Amino acid sequence: MSLEQRRDSRNPAPEDMQYGKGFLCSSFECFEIELVKDISDHGIGLMADIYLGKGTAVQLQIPRSEHTEQIYGRVVWASPVAEILADAEIPLSYWIGISLEQGSTHSES
């Protein structure tokens, strides 16, 4: 998705969103989120070590300072992390763009 196609400006992940923590779940499997890169009103960009195809329904479980966010959405794009492609020793990771479902955020203490 090009910058011109974005509906909202992107912001860095909030500081209380723990780096390298959280889970990306799809089809009853959960994978660790390596990094939350950015967030907008309608989407989130993150890095994980799993490829998920466009349209895949996902649930994100992201720890915050006092609760865990449960967020639902769909994958809109996925791309291999370029820096990792150059190093055969490191497992392949993907940048994943997720479109958030409106009203889908729930907090658990």
Domain edges within the chain: 3-108
**pTM for this model (two decimals):** 0.75
Other C-beta atoms lying within 10 Å of the C-beta of residue 7 = 9
Length of the chain measured in residues: 109
pLDDT in tens, 38-93: 888 889 999 998 999 999 999 999 887 778 889 899 999 999 887 665 566 666 88
- CATH H-level superfamily of 3-108: predicted glycosyltransferase like domains (2.40.10.220)
pLDDT in tens, 11-37: 666 665 655 578 999 988 999 998 888
User: Sign (positive/negative) of CA torsion 49, 54, 57, 61?
Assistant: positive
